Structure 1
């Protein structure tokens, strides 16, 4: 099964699908190692890690597509990617969906924000008209149907958090977008638990919950009871990485090598070695399979980690 088929099957399953957020192949690999069935490629994390800029419409579609391709290539589990607002109008959405399909990811979400868009949990968001947004989701669905029927399209609306936005408007938009062909709905920026429940009751489609920013901190089990089908944690790898690097870099400044030894020992506590995690054993296996006999003798009697070990 390809990523789209597997992602669809996981979302149809009775249990809620939990998708921790990754911003690059390395963090996606760590999430897969932790035992999760799917990975979410965060747009904020991609923008910050690849360009050092916030999620404010500053990163381009080719940069996002390249990262989606790299993330999906690094893991076996399906990836759900952030496609921002489709990077333009309905004609731009046509190319955006085509390009994401080529990456091999299982699906994407597209939002109804105007350009330049911004993170769904900061102020200043604006949305395009409902009619224009419906046209964009019709375009996305047509590309899916033409190129890959299993590719999963999630319709995100930021109407709740936009100026003068209401939950009722957001729900109406979510239903309209799914009527236009989107596979699932994503009502961004719900303010409290009552709104989380009301959105689930009113939207007639599979539902994604974004646990970030102002979102109520509900456990997956609670969201499942409320009727949600998948939950993403976009900031997980991004914030964990910044926190760990900052803390250990600060220690390095005061404690010197002792701080580096501390993080080495922490890594040794993981159920895999660093070179195994990076994929070195697979390189050795390829050398043994495809290169002239005796190629791997270079590992005998040399200094350094034995990367032949699983």
Structure 2
């Protein structure tokens, strides 16, 4: 197995919160990796929207999510934390879900206690399954982790705070039960203010995640120093790349509609100001050339002589 889980555990053990930008595909993950983040987070919302064109409302399937996670982890050199929604069924379904994510080589997943179909943790109308059933799903996930990859990090999330009659006490009680059932990290979705975050830090007996969604949802903007003080070990920004992609592509294509040539020049100039090199360099063409030189017949290199196009060596 890969060592992404072990590397992630080392990062979580540091004295400061681990900050993970959300990515929704291998391309946005490669950008985050190039910037220099220590780990990245695969957003379920962004994956659903970018891969199948639907919102985070239970439409995307387990194989589609795992396929995206595997491709992202293959593309980056840092551990990936992946959204595994509600495990795509009951506890027996969770067994296969966790096995597949372990095979994908990711460093961690989080599983939530929502009913099916689930929805974004910052929209109205969420419901959660009974606590006993949810604990059974986490026990199943922990057993698979112990059997298949002990360093794999299991994050257990509750959406109980955001249900119609949800309370913070119920959410805290659930994640403490999840930790007792074998989860490595606790994730209370949807705290509404700093006081609730402080209470979570005081009452939860284990490492903590904060889901920094900004204006998309109900969780507040909080500075990292406060989150560190309150005991949060991991801060994910799930829709960072997705919102950035939509905003920047919209702006560029809006300009493109007015003057395509000038807009294309502006896009080229903006790309040239980044430190990633050319598009061919960033995408990995030089490595492909190295593979050709190493493994293909020598005469196969003749195709480069006198041919037109950008130099990809």
Output the TM-score relative to the length of structure 2.
Answer: 0.96
- Please tell me whether the aligned partners of residues 57 and 116 of structure 1 are also in contact (alpha carbons under 8 angstroms): yes
State the alpha-carbon separation in 2 of the partners of residues 107 and 19 from structure 1: 12
Partner of 2:44: 43
Aligned length in residues: 308
1:185-196 to 2 correspondences below 5 Å: 185-196=186-197
State the alpha-carbon separation in 1 of the partners of residues 236 and 8 from structure 2: 13
State the alpha-carbon separation in 2 of the partners of residues 255 and 65 from structure 1: 40
1:88-127 to 2 correspondences below 5 Å: 88-127=89-128
- Please tell me whether the aligned partners of residues 299 and 306 of structure 1 are also in contact (alpha carbons under 8 angstroms): no
Partner of 2:8: 7
Please say which of residues 212-221 and 201-210 is displaced more in the overlay. Answer: 212-221
Provide Cα deviations, 1:143-178, integer angstroms capped at 9, x if missing partner. Answer: 110111011100000000111101111000010001
Q: Give the alignment partner of residue 219 of structure 2, picking from 215, 219, 222.
A: 215
Once the 2 structures are TM-superposed, how far is the Cα of residue 234 of structure 1 from its aligned partner? Answer: 0.6
Once the 2 structures are TM-superposed, how far is the Cα of residue 220 of structure 1 from its aligned partner? Answer: 2.4
Output the TM-score relative to the length of structure 1.
Answer: 0.97
Provide Cα deviations, 1:8-42, integer angstroms capped at 9, x if missing partner. Answer: 11111112111100000000000000110001000
Please say which of residues 144-153 and 289-298 is displaced more in the overlay. Answer: 289-298
State the alpha-carbon separation in 1 of the partners of residues 283 and 306 from structure 2: 23
In the alignment, structure 1 segments of 5+ residues that lack a partner are: none
State the alpha-carbon separation in 2 of the partners of residues 223 and 276 from structure 1: 38
Structure 1 residue 59 and structure 2 residue 63: aligned?
A: no
State the alpha-carbon separation in 2 of the partners of residues 284 and 189 from structure 1: 48
1:94-173 to 2 correspondences below 5 Å: 94-173=95-174
Once the 2 structures are TM-superposed, how far is the Cα of residue 290 of structure 1 from its aligned partner? Answer: 1.1
What SS does the aligned partner of 2:160 have? Answer: coil
Partner of 2:291: 286
State the alpha-carbon separation in 1 of the partners of residues 120 and 301 from structure 2: 49
RMSD: 1.0
State the alpha-carbon separation in 2 of the partners of residues 255 and 219 from structure 1: 41
State the alpha-carbon separation in 2 of the partners of residues 20 and 250 from structure 1: 26
State the alpha-carbon separation in 2 of the partners of residues 236 and 38 from structure 1: 14
What SS does the aligned partner of 1:68 have? Answer: helix
Partner of 1:277: 282
Partner of 2:259: 255
Provide Cα deviations, 1:195-220, integer angstroms capped at 9, x if missing partner. Answer: 11111111001001000122211232
Once the 2 structures are TM-superposed, how far is the Cα of residue 278 of structure 1 from its aligned partner? Answer: 0.2
State the alpha-carbon separation in 2 of the partners of residues 227 and 296 from structure 1: 57
Partner of 1:299: 304
What SS does the aligned partner of 1:160 have? Answer: helix
- Please tell me whether the aligned partners of residues 153 and 182 of structure 1 are also in contact (alpha carbons under 8 angstroms): yes
Once the 2 structures are TM-superposed, how far is the Cα of residue 292 of structure 1 from its aligned partner? Answer: 1.6
In the alignment, structure 2 segments of 5+ residues that lack a partner are: none
